[in-house]
Structure 1
């Protein structure tokens, strides 16, 4: 049984921080407080094996009363002096901000330790043991004021400063320390980064020359104005501290790159064995990344968007669903590069579904005697959905065995799965009903369609139902001897054409999958099938042809260098049937002829519907024991983890594969959800066979960008890329590598290289075979693949790229520049044409507007501009003058209206107040005293009214005196001194008009004449100021 207690140091990319052993009894822990030791105490534990810089300081919980500056610590926590308990504001001990990577050390850690030691020297081992043996004091000795003053640092703000200023200074001090810490972390980077070092140096200069002086000056300044100016300068300087942010951000990205799965290959390319090879791969990567961008803009960006629900338009983009992009992928530069790339080992391919679908149908077309076709429902005109819903199967059968089982698929009397001659079926196929010819319709039935694959109701179980139906159809297309031999040659040629150096195929060895003779009378057993495969491979490598078909054109062992067979049997079998298959597999391995070709053992089929691996554990363990006894090695290469289920027996197959010590895992999609199993598999060096397109089509992920392989690769899980069932998905290995590249935006050629190297490393070849294949692959990678990318760089980067151009001579730089000039000239001509068209439209619109204006009798602005400029200038000046006069007149009218309103309101208030005062002064005075009224009117004519008059009638006195006073006030001027004397003499508050101004006729009628000669109502005189009636009863001048 496998030891799953993994050691992290065997698979982590860096040395982990050792965990502290925690005792179950808190009293036995190192950091547990000792009995009798109160809170707010601090103990220092020094181990003899550790240097003073690494000693551990344990601080018990308790509130902090320290007032020392936080800038004393490199990580923002102060270095406490003796007797000072330094804790966080939450009562927890301060945590270090040092990065997890032990290679990254703090810039000022040694300075901080030295500063701490300056306050508290480290005792010797004997003194330390003696001090620890002494009993601890129950309470901390208080710090005296004298001792506290001795430790004041004059470079820091004094305690007299406000908390706000102190915190501001401490904040920037902390930032300064953090800036100083940056440089050593940069030095620990695996490769030098000039950009990062430049930003770090600029940050240090900024703090040293600008921020620190401003901060200190601000702390010492008391003048509010100066403080305001300093705050503004400080804010401007802080704004440029974005350099620190960028530096730290860049450092994080650098560490991410270093921890990436492809970093080893990237480093090898940058610092390769020879400068020529290294620089060539780096240049090839730059060209590839530019090609990715051009594919996105020039091919996907210019393709017609797809219409979705409610008319929503969806642009095309790389990394979309594979079947959706099936028409655009072959046109891209990246796919052309994939086809040219040497792909190492292909480790997960089902042998009966490796070729493109048209190849199988072409082979079956040649069988006209014993090839029969069957359907689950009749294909008639009445059932219009029959052509989509039916399941088609093929079989080679002897005529005597189908005599009583024949039927016509195109009649209503047809019974399910009756035989019909394939040649007759092709002749009678109703093209009008199906909408396609017979070959197109059969090919459609053989592969997954976009509508059924990406339906909103589709599930993984539904996808597997379609998959099993397609598999049953495909099985009968080549399960006879002549077709099988031809299929082997075509499959090997496909490996060579796709630039594969080694392959491990998975044929199914079971009763229902046996190969028949050409006449359908006899069966070929598994031993003969193995012989057919081995003989076919040997003939292919020697260049022997079959039926005048040259499969080895341009090959001759230059590409494919090895082939092995993985013995597969269905997981739906009973354990006893699996036991028989295991015994046959062991027999193959013990046979000298077959032994070099047996790679391992696998259980295949739908994982959720078959039995879990746990059901076969007894027979599998028995098989391992037999292999050990016989001295042979047949590793387990199980299908498992091909599910999105959680907590089911299907999900637990990963556990069984781990315990059974599998060498590789097929798919392993669910492994990302099991972190412990993932780490254990890394420790056991288990590799995953990733099949991106298969996982997408079978419902595990909607698009390749959501595939779990990127999470697995980020955790350094070794993975390879494979196709699974290329026939059903219309794909080959190049398509899967293409999807892996476009699913991750920052995936590079170095990532491809790492996946390929892992495929060779985790293959079932022996060490000698691996070295031979790897040497050949490395040569093809450097001298052929990277060189080809560089030679065809102008062709690949041509904006008008066409895949057919790669079959021609590589475009030269002169031709590329000329092509770019032609493209720019074409763009300029197009822009000019658009501008001329816009001018033409504008001219037509202007002519139309002029015509409409003439019909209305209006003068167009264009005609006005045709006048003499001097006349136009004079007219404009005159118009401005008229506008100014109109504006002034409007302003004067509004002002006069406001003044009139004010005067009327003021007079109304005065009359009302006088009435009240008069009524209060003479409550017994009878109304209607005519003599008093006349006498009062004569006496008070041309004089202001008084609120204290008690000798006249209230109503007549108020009215007459007010009117006379206003008239005299308007037509004359008052003399200040005489008016004041009169007011003082008159106890009633009455006064006379200065200068003896007489009442004019206009005043007698209630109107007055102003200096301008205009006659206005007397009630509209200027607003009277409020004057204390006891002091003055006069009305102020206008």
Structure 2
């Protein structure tokens, strides 16, 4: 039996160590072998790509020597530093492929919601007992309800306040996590998730208004396209939408609206590949509710195969029900022969050994197509191996306090299948994927990440998308033309 190159290299290293001084050529070989295993390590670069790579390394060395180093501090403190970075400016021009993990409730910037939507006629606002806000569009003053006793026409209130800019800034604070004091305002994950939930509820009254939803989806596609993103997979609960006269639209209407907006956008922007939906329900639901949702999602995928990509469970894993709790519901598609791919959030926890931690294994058992977040994967070597061999990509998300310690650094060093996405961009005061690519390229990848890394990550977003192979081929060819033009402009 012939020894593997890896085993042969280990044997040479052992013999070298036993002999005393290691052979410099073997050291160089070891470094090259390790570099070849990382994300992008096997990508052969053209002369032009190597020139850009040399420039990026020079810029990255300078940035890593700076104090503060942007990926080492909280994102809210680093945003302005990142915006001034020449690396970030270059990444804005880079064709990024697809955004495969964004939630519909945070697709569009809060600034657009406030400056555009809240200035529309018939928009009412209510301030709740828990220092949150609610919005609704209505032809007359809405009736009081348990969380809103006093509704005010927003245009009237804004006129009374006088300083519209300051008032709008206060509204934006209700719709995002952005703060000047993240450590003080968010001392723990409970505080973060509490603000998350309240911000989502606040925006729901705006986004679920039928005329707004059309414009909202269109604006979301524009924001992605401006950032050189060419494809979207959007997680959505398909909430019911309402008209000014009180008419309520069902999920079919929402799907058709999404389909119509996407088709029109692609027709006007032929360099945009399209968009699909992953139906998402909350893990706080009961087993019977999730069972019904799985059956409904399978029916929607059957009726809208070009729109509905699959199914997911969302919500905080540490306090929510684990995947295994819903095993009977999640087993239905396989049992009934239904076509419903899964795209599970899993492993968004640092609590080893808990039920939330086991979601990684259960996601793989239920044949998930991708893993959202996957922080815990670094502590599950078998799951990591299964994921890698099965090409189950990890969706690298979330802007943690110090990107150098992100668990994805381990996955990137191993060349694990992964894609970069933004999860909840509006919550962090961002749009597109440039910030996320910056954090992955500079913070998580460090000096080891190069142009090959960027190239592979962008292509992975098409490779691991839910698109059929024919559209993946179309997308790769479209992306390659954009990439070649990008390299030509920057090398």
Query: TM-score w.r.t. structure 2 length?
Result: 0.92
Question: Where do 1:397-408 residues align within 5 Å?
Answer: 397-399=138-140, 401-402=142-143, 405=144
Q: 1:415 to 1:359 in 2, by over 3 A?
A: closer
Structure 1: how far apart are the matches of 2:245 and 2:7? 68
Structure 1: how far apart are the matches of 2:159 and 2:316? 37
Structure 1: how far apart are the matches of 2:64 and 2:10? 39
Shift in Å at residue 248 of structure 1? Answer: 5.0
| Secondary structure, aligned partner of 2:193 | helix
Q: Residue 742 in 1 paired to residue 442 in 2?
A: yes
| Secondary structure, aligned partner of 2:7 | coil
**Which residue of structure 2 aligns with residue 521 of structure 1?**
246
Ranges in structure 2 where 5+ consecutive residues have no aligned partner:
none
Q: 1:725 to 1:535 in 2, by over 3 A?
A: same
Structure 1: how far apart are the matches of 2:64 and 2:395? 28
Q: Residue 338 in 1 paired to residue 91 in 2?
A: yes
Structure 2: how far apart are the matches of 1:108 and 1:736? 41
Shift in Å at residue 373 of structure 1? Answer: 1.0
Contact 1:607 1:650 in 2 (8 A): yes
| Secondary structure, aligned partner of 2:355 | coil
Structure 2: how far apart are the matches of 1:415 and 1:538? 39
Contact 1:671 1:677 in 2 (8 A): yes
> For each residue in 1:960-1003, what CA deviation from the matched residue of structure 2 results, as whole angstroms up to 9, or x when unmatched?
xxxxxxxxxxxxxxxxxxxxxxxxxxxxxxxxxxxxxxxxxxxx
Match of 2:135 among 394, 397, 404: 394
> For each residue in 1:250-289, what CA deviation from the matched residue of structure 2 results, as whole angstroms up to 9, or x when unmatched?
3432232122232111xx21xxxxxxxx111111111222
Q: Residue 351 in 1 paired to residue 104 in 2?
A: yes
Structure 2: how far apart are the matches of 1:318 and 1:465? 26
Contact 2:185 2:191 in 1 (8 A): no
In our comparison, the structure showing a higher alpha carbon Rg is: 1
Structure 2: how far apart are the matches of 1:639 and 1:430? 44
Structure 2: how far apart are the matches of 1:334 and 1:505? 27
Structure 2: how far apart are the matches of 1:742 and 1:420? 47
Structure 1: how far apart are the matches of 2:333 and 2:13? 58
Contact 2:322 2:356 in 1 (8 A): yes
Structure 2: how far apart are the matches of 1:599 and 1:107? 48
Ranges in structure 1 where 5+ consecutive residues have no aligned partner:
1-14, 18-98, 110-173, 180-240, 270-277, 302-314, 378-388, 407-413, 544-555, 697-701, 791-1038
Shift in Å at residue 662 of structure 1? Answer: 0.8
Q: 1:106 to 1:442 in 2, by over 3 A?
A: closer
Question: Where do 1:33-44 residues align within 5 Å?
Answer: none
**Which residue of structure 1 aligns with residue 300 of structure 2?**
588
Contact 2:179 2:185 in 1 (8 A): no
**Which residue of structure 1 aligns with residue 36 of structure 2?**
258
| Secondary structure, aligned partner of 2:184 | coil
Shift in Å at residue 771 of structure 1? Answer: 0.9
Contact 1:295 1:333 in 2 (8 A): no
**Which residue of structure 2 aligns with residue 426 of structure 1?**
158
**Which residue of structure 1 aligns with residue 224 of structure 2?**
495
Q: Residue 789 in 1 paired to residue 484 in 2?
A: no
Question: Where do 1:185-196 residues align within 5 Å?
Answer: none
Q: 1:691 to 1:579 in 2, by over 3 A?
A: same
Match of 2:260 among 526, 535, 549: 535
Q: Residue 316 in 1 paired to residue 68 in 2?
A: yes
> For each residue in 1:577-626, what CA deviation from the matched residue of structure 2 results, as whole angstroms up to 9, or x when unmatched?
112222221222222xx211111111111222221111111111112222
Shift in Å at residue 565 of structure 1? Answer: 0.9
Question: RCO greater where, 1 or 2, for CA within 8 Å and sep 6 or more?
Answer: 2
Contact 2:108 2:220 in 1 (8 A): yes
Structure 2: how far apart are the matches of 1:529 and 1:362? 24
Structure 2: how far apart are the matches of 1:704 and 1:107? 33
Question: Where do 1:845-924 residues align within 5 Å?
Answer: none
Q: 1:487 to 1:416 in 2, by over 3 A?
A: closer
> For each residue in 1:651-676, what CA deviation from the matched residue of structure 2 results, as whole angstroms up to 9, or x when unmatched?
11112111111111111111101112
Structure 2: how far apart are the matches of 1:107 and 1:726? 47
Match of 1:286 among 43, 47, 54: 54
Structure 2: how far apart are the matches of 1:107 and 1:565? 50
Shift in Å at residue 767 of structure 1? Answer: 1.1
| Secondary structure, aligned partner of 2:309 | strand
Q: 1:106 to 1:650 in 2, by over 3 A?
A: closer
> For each residue in 1:179-238, what CA deviation from the matched residue of structure 2 results, as whole angstroms up to 9, or x when unmatched?
8xxxxxxxxxxxxxxxxxxxxxxxxxxxxxxxxxxxxxxxxxxxxxxxxxxxxxxxxxxx
Deviates more, 1:391-400 or 1:606-615: 391-400
RMSD, aligned CA: 2.7
Match of 1:557 among 245, 270, 276: 270
The count of residues paired between Structure 1 and Structure 2 equals 486
Contact 1:567 1:602 in 2 (8 A): yes
Q: Residue 438 in 1 paired to residue 167 in 2?
A: yes
Q: Residue 602 in 1 paired to residue 312 in 2?
A: yes
Write 1 or 2 for the structure with the bigger share of strand. Answer: 2
**Which residue of structure 1 aligns with residue 384 of structure 2?**
678
Structure 1: how far apart are the matches of 2:410 and 2:188? 23
**Which residue of structure 1 aligns with residue 397 of structure 2?**
691
| Secondary structure, aligned partner of 2:58 | helix
Shift in Å at residue 514 of structure 1? Answer: 1.6
Contact 2:333 2:340 in 1 (8 A): no
Structure 2: how far apart are the matches of 1:330 and 1:457? 23
Shift in Å at residue 762 of structure 1? Answer: 1.0
Match of 2:194 among 434, 441, 465: 465
| Secondary structure, aligned partner of 1:439 | helix
Shift in Å at residue 498 of structure 1? Answer: 1.2
**Which residue of structure 1 aligns with residue 8 of structure 2?**
102
Q: 1:713 to 1:479 in 2, by over 3 A?
A: same
Q: 1:107 to 1:658 in 2, by over 3 A?
A: closer
Contact 1:692 1:739 in 2 (8 A): no
Q: 1:668 to 1:529 in 2, by over 3 A?
A: same
Question: Where do 1:695-844 residues align within 5 Å?
Answer: 696=400, 702-732=401-431, 733-743=433-443, 744-746=445-447, 747-782=449-484, 784-790=485-491
Match of 2:124 among 364, 367, 372: 372
Contact 1:361 1:477 in 2 (8 A): no
